[in-house]
Structure 1
Amino acid sequence: MTTSVSRYKYYDFVMAAFVTVLLCSNLIGAAKAAQVTLPLLGTVTFGAGVLFFPISYIFGDVLTEVYGYGRDRRVIWAGFGALVFAALMSVVVLSLTPAADPFNREYQTHLDAVFGNTPRIILGSVTAFWCGSFVNSYVLAKMKIATSGKYLWTRTIGSTICGELVDSSLFYIIAFYGIWSDKQLVTVMIAQYILKTGWEVVMTPFTYKVVAFLKRKENEDYYDRDTNFSPFKLRA
């Protein structure tokens, strides 16, 4: 039996790419604090994962624009499940007693440093991703109807502005409120938000090309006119 999802040629590949970017940006880049000097803002400290995490929002835009909110909803839940499993696996692996040789004892300290995120950071990351991604998809789907499918750039940038605002706000409040000073919390939150949304603007020509390619190859340009926007449904 062929479903409305399995008939697409590239949907599964986009889903896999989305989950890959999501996991890598949360596991590889999140542990490193980097610095960059920006006009007006000066030297800004940020998590290295911010360079790649916004790509997941680009995939979210592409999925909603081409396949619709319902099919992007399935991808968001796949990403959510992958993040939860990765967090669970990290906890289990780190809790195991390392072998008694010098190499493994030292290696354990490196694993703790890279993957030993506090429960607040894990909760903040998972919650912020889930809420921000659904806001991004919902706003884009509604804007597509409002603009009759025209002006794609307004939807990709507008939805990212809303989604990243929710994502950045929730993550830093959940993970660091009461630990950082209010001034530091707001400063880092704003810097991250600007960097993330700026990525969307820079990547707009790329998004246009991917969307045009997929619409042509999939023969699909979905409008969510009768969509149930509940985030808790898995049916496309």
Structure 2
Amino acid sequence: MPESHATPLPAVDAAHTGRVYRYYDFVMVAFVTVLLCSNLIGAAKAAQVTLPWIGPVTFGAGVLFFPISYIFGDVLTEVYGYGRDRRVVWAGFTALAFATFMSLVVLKMPVAPFMADYQKSLEDVFGNTWRIALGSLIAFCCGSFTNSYVLAKMKLWSGGRWLWTRTIGSTLAGELVDSSLFYVIAFYGIWPLEKVIQVAVAQYVLKTAWEVVMTPVTYKVVGFLKRAENEDWFDRHTNFTPFRLKV
């Protein structure tokens, strides 16, 4: 598979940490938007489709859109580096935590009499249990940092070649962590164990399949941003701890 640009851009180092980028903020906003929507809309819903030769397949409804956040994570790490992706992950975590807290507070407030029937609908849509909320937060953080770390290391090992191997490889690692943690934390002991495993496996396969299908789009976005930003970050001197905001 060809690389996203004909002539590799020169690797850069920590001297560029003070740079201002044209599109970084837009990618961050897109990442956080996808994250919030995919976790607040359909996170607790198990959908089912019947596939030829396979039969009924059950999966989390959010799987249709949540993998897009991993594609943004790949783009951020590939172009801007692990440190800047780490800032975006923490921005997403904070936004998701606040949205969860806000949902809890709003739903617990006394309801006006004429809204009593509507309250039940609000609770059905936004009233995630504490386990679902906790599972979402923990799985998102651990999966996203795993994805970014693996991609950054694979880029060093490959010398910046074979972009498709690290976008897919990092997603395989990150989504494995994400799917395993979320469904165990959120539904173990509530759903039958075989259903927890079945849905987690189906979600993992579908998420990683999304990454493979979207690889040509990822190539185009990465190529555009590298040219537009004149950046192609290599994490040679990066502190990979997730517990910091400094680039």
Pick the TM interval, shorter chain. over 0.9
Separation in structure 2 between the aligned mates of residue 31 and residue 122 of structure 1, nearest angstrom:
10
Return 5+ residue gaps in structure 1 as ranges. Answer: none
The aligned residue for residue 106 of structure 2 is 93
1:36 Cα shift? 1.8
Q: Does 1:10 align with 2:23?
A: yes
Paired residue secondary structure (1:35) = strand
Q: Percent of aligned pairs with the same residue?
A: 72
SS of equivalent to 1:178: coil
Residues in 2 aligned to 1:227 and 1:4: alpha-carbon distance in whole angstroms = 11
Residue of structure 2 in register with 1:131 after alignment:
142
Which of residues 179, 198, 217 in structure 2 aligns to 1:187? 198
Q: Summarize the Cα distance change of 1:28–1:5 in structure 2 as closer, same or farther, 3 Å threshold.
A: farther
Residue equivalent to 1:44? 57
1:60 equivalent in alignment to 2:73: yes
Which digits, 9 at most, give the CA deviation of each residue in 1:184-219, with x for residues without a partner?
Answer: 111111001001110000000000000000000000
Q: Is the 8 A contact 2:132 2:182 kept in 1?
A: yes
Q: Is the 8 A contact 2:80 2:233 kept in 1?
A: yes
Name the Cα RMSD after superposition: 1.3
Within the candidate set 119, 129, 141, 2:130 is matched to 119
Secondary structure at 1:207's aligned position in 2?
helix
Aligned counterpart in structure 2 of residue 69 of structure 1, from 72, 77, 82? 82
Partner in structure 2 of residue 145 of structure 1: 156
The CA distance in 2 between the partners of 1:106 and 1:58, in whole Å, is: 40
TM-score (norm: length of structure 2): 0.91
1:22 alignment partner, one of 15, 32, 35: 35
* Counterparts of 1:226 and 1:6, CA distance in 2: 17
3-state SS of 2:47 partner? strand
Correspondence 1:199 to 2:236: no
Give the unaligned 5+ runs of structure 2.
1-15
Quote how far apart the aligned CAs of 1:44 are: 1.3
Is contact 1:5–1:11 with CA below 8 Å preserved after alignment? no
Cα distance in 1 for residues equivalent to 2:48 and 2:105: 32
Q: 45-54 vs 152-161, which deviates more?
A: 45-54
1:7: how far off?
0.9
Aligned partner of 1:79 in structure 2 is: 92
Shift of 1:234: 0.3
- The structure showing larger relative contact order (alpha-carbon pairs under 8 Å, at least 6 residues apart) is 2
How far off its partner does 1:32 sit? 3.6
Letter in 2 for 1:93: V
Superposition misfits of 4+ residues, deviation over 6 angstroms: none
Q: Distance in 2 between matches of 1:221 and 1:167?
A: 27
Secondary structure in structure 1 of the residue aligned to 2:113: coil
- State the partner residue of 2:3: none
Matches within 5 A, 1:217-228: 217-228=228-239
Q: Report deviation, 1:220.
A: 0.2
SS, match of residue 140 in structure 2: helix
Look up the SS of the partner of 1:89 in the other structure. Answer: helix
Kindly provide the CA deviation profile for residues 49-91 of structure 1, in whole angstroms up to 9, marking residues without a partner as x. 1100000000000000000000000000000000100000000
Q: What's the TM-score once normalised by structure 1's chain length? A: 0.95
